[in-house]
Amino acid sequence: MPTAGPRYLVTGGAGYVGSHTVLALREAGADVTVVDNLSTGHRAALPPDVPLVVADVEDTATLSQLVADGGFSAILHFAALSLVGESMRQPTHYLRRNLLATLALIDVAIAAGIRKFVLSSTANIFSGESSALIEEYAPVDPGSPYGESKAMAERALHWADRIHGLRSACLRYFNAAGADPAGRIGEDHRPETHLIPAAIDAVLGRRPPLCLFGTDYPTSDGTCIRDYVHVSDIARAHLAALDLLDHRSVALNIGTGRGASVREVLAAIGEVAGHTVPVIEAARRPGDPASLVADGRRLVQLTGWTPSHSQLTSVIETAFAWRKANPHGYPG
Ligand code: UDP
């Protein structure tokens, strides 16, 4: 049912971070319309009364028509190819699709007089070669074509602001993980390549042992270090960023400042499951930087956002609960 709140167009809203953000927006009283081609998203990840337009973001005719009534106050752009490893095998595909989709959407926003744009960006715009916490103005040096495609999208938004006054928030996600604490939605990629859900499936005996990619990184235990942030905390950061856009464009890292190694994550999953995660040690996965941990203080300072579910145990418990309750993921 439409609400009296602000109206947002959410691309990729049926995906993992997108669907958790749709829930947060709705709980804040917003009126949300989702555009998703359902290539990786799920209709069942959306509340039944959220309008879903099944289309590609690059389908400018459909999108222009959708926003033509002028009622949308912002676009939140989640729809993207988002796998680092896959991008190392298909670099031009990633660069082309992610950049062209963002450019098309910028044109749609400007033509319709929409003044605010939120981009799902990534920590992969940074090299991850140092173990230092990554602050917003660390040099942009993407670790993969996926990261490069997001860095290019950020630059396109910079020019859209300078030339057309389209305000943007580029939100650099570190490692989104976990599931809605109320168990309504969760993470369902097919195939699943992300560490936490893949390891949970391995410990539940639903897939072969987990391949641990790389044990010779220059880190404390030789495995990669990441900043795992609960997806519902990331969702709330979008609401905070939308408020900032009343005043200025921003680029913000969304992280906790605490890293966990792959081995630490596997140990924590083993504890929650009551069994050791079966593992096969394997070679490094191309494109994986050694360490990506955010200095997330700027987001906290500017908005008062704080992560409330991002302790590793909460992340894993919520992810575990959803996958256990939904052994085949979403229906369909
Ligand atoms: N990883 C792993 N085995 C897997 C999946 C991931 O060892 O089956 C490692 C991966 O190399 C990286 C970390 O887990 O160091 C997080 O990977 P994920 O794909 O979850 O997120 P990314 O950091 O690529 O966004």
**Are 316 and 269 contacting, i.e. CB atoms less than 8 angstroms apart?**
yes
Alpha helix stretches (DSSP H) within 56-121: 60-67, 84-89, 91-112
Give the model confidence (pLDDT) of 289-317 as tens digits.
999 999 999 999 999 999 999 999 999 99
Digitized pLDDT (tens) for each residue of the chain, 332 residues in all: 445 689 999 999 999 999 999 999 999 999 999 999 999 999 999 999 999 999 999 999 999 999 998 899 999 999 999 999 999 999 999 999 999 999 999 999 999 999 999 999 999 999 888 889 999 999 999 989 999 999 999 999 999 999 999 999 999 999 999 999 999 999 999 999 999 999 999 999 999 999 999 999 999 999 999 999 999 999 999 999 999 999 999 999 999 999 999 999 999 999 999 999 999 999 999 989 999 999 999 999 999 999 999 999 999 999 999 999 999 999 97
CA distance 117 to 103: 12
**Are 99 and 153 contacting, i.e. CB atoms less than 8 angstroms apart?**
yes
CA distance 276 to 192: 20
For the record, the structure tokens of 265 come out as: 């994550």
* β-pair type (74-77, 116-122): parallel
Which residue has its alpha carbon closest to ligand 1 atom 16? 195
Q: What is the pTM of this model?
A: 0.97
Q: Give residue limits of the domains in the chain.
A: 7-177+228-256
Give the model confidence (pLDDT) of 224-259 as tens digits.
999 999 999 999 999 999 999 999 999 999 999 999
Catalytically active residues are 146
Pocket test for ligand 1, best of 172, 280, 285 (most atoms within 8 A of CB): 285
Q: Which CATH superfamily is domain 7-177+228-256 in?
A: NAD(P)-binding Rossmann-like Domain (3.40.50.720)
Which residue has its alpha carbon closest to ligand 1 atom 1? 195
Structure confidence at residue 220 (pLDDT): 96
CA of 262 to the centre of ligand 1 (A): 8
